[in-house]
Amino acid sequence: MKPNMLKFIKNWPGEIANLLFPGICRHCGGDLDGSDTILCPDCWQGLRQSMSHSYCPTCGKDIGKFELVDDRCHRCKDKRPMISRFGRLGRYDLTLRELILKLKYQKRSTLEGVFGQLLASVLISDPYYTDVDILIPVPMHWTRKFIRSFNQTDIVAIELKKQMKKQGRHLKINYDLVRTRRTPPLAGLSDSQRREIIKGAFSVRPDVNFANKHICIIDDITTSGITLKESARAINSAGAAKISALVLAVAGQD
């Protein structure tokens, strides 16, 4: 099979959509303005609204205007989190929520590029991420990935890596963080229930060493942050020098 053909088939949902419906917004079906090939001005506006809230760069939660002291809000000012920096696109609401759901359940390949670009802009604009070496997408248990056929967090990490490469930053993606057991969905559970379920559910493959590395964990949605914390615990035990996180959205905000 010719490489071009293979590329075409790999990207078929976006390619087919472009052939069948040129000029149509991939989210709402509205008209695109001339230069954009994915989202219409209204959907971009909705996305900007989900992304417009200020947040704490240490815990990722929404903050008031003058709340930060030394990059910490009142929730995390006395804590020593293993994840030392937290970046996000926005709140898990409105257009951002709808687009993430499309990525998650419909594998809309046209949206991957949007998320990759937006995450890259967070990573580039915050000097804390300057020395990131490795991206680690939060893994699904292999049985779930087998059924779904893809992990949207892997896809987002790959797009982010591509975007960073365009900026001259070469990041690696590492898949040595694994889920050691399958866990039930956490939606609707209290923080303590979530903690109990997730505790010890991640580990880094034996003989992997992240010494001197700045690892940035990538996730799609976080609510309590417990999945990220447990991932960080495993990555830390493999010797990482610095751990940060970058997510598409934070849920459970007031």
Asked if residue 111 binds Zn ion (CB under 5 A), the reply is: no
Q: Which of residues 193-232 bind Zn ion (CB under 5 A)?
A: none
- Element containing residue 115 per DSSP (H, E): helix 109-125
Q: How far is the CB of 94 from Zn ion (least distance, A)?
A: 13
Q: Give the C-alpha separation, 173 to 157, whole Å.
A: 7
Q: How far is the CB of 47 from Zn ion (least distance, A)?
A: 10
User: Given candidates 43, 160, 164, 171, which one binds Zn ion under the rule CB under 5 A?
Assistant: 43
Q: Which of residues 2-41 bind Zn ion (CB under 5 A)?
A: 25, 27-28, 30, 40
Q: How far is the CB of 98 from Zn ion (least distance, A)?
A: 10
Beta strands in 156-231 (DSSP E): 172-173, 177-179, 202-204, 214-222
Q: How far is the CB of 43 from Zn ion (least distance, A)?
A: 3
Residue 42 class from Cβ within 10 Å (0-12 exposed, 13-18 middle, 19+ buried)?
A: middle
- CB-based contact 225:232 (threshold 8 Å): no
Q: Which of residues 44-103 bind Zn ion (CB under 5 A)?
A: 56, 58-59, 73, 75-76
Residue 234: CA count within 13 A, CB half-sphere: 26
Q: Which ranges of 59-108 would DSSP assign to H, the alpha helix?
A: 94-106
**Closer CB to Zn ion, 15 or 67, in the complex:** 67
What's the residue count for the chain?
254
**Closer CB to Zn ion, 117 or 145, in the complex:** 117
**Closer CB to Zn ion, 43 or 140, in the complex:** 43
Note the residues at the interface with Zn ion (CB under 5 A): 25, 27-28, 30, 40, 43, 56, 58-59, 73, 75-76
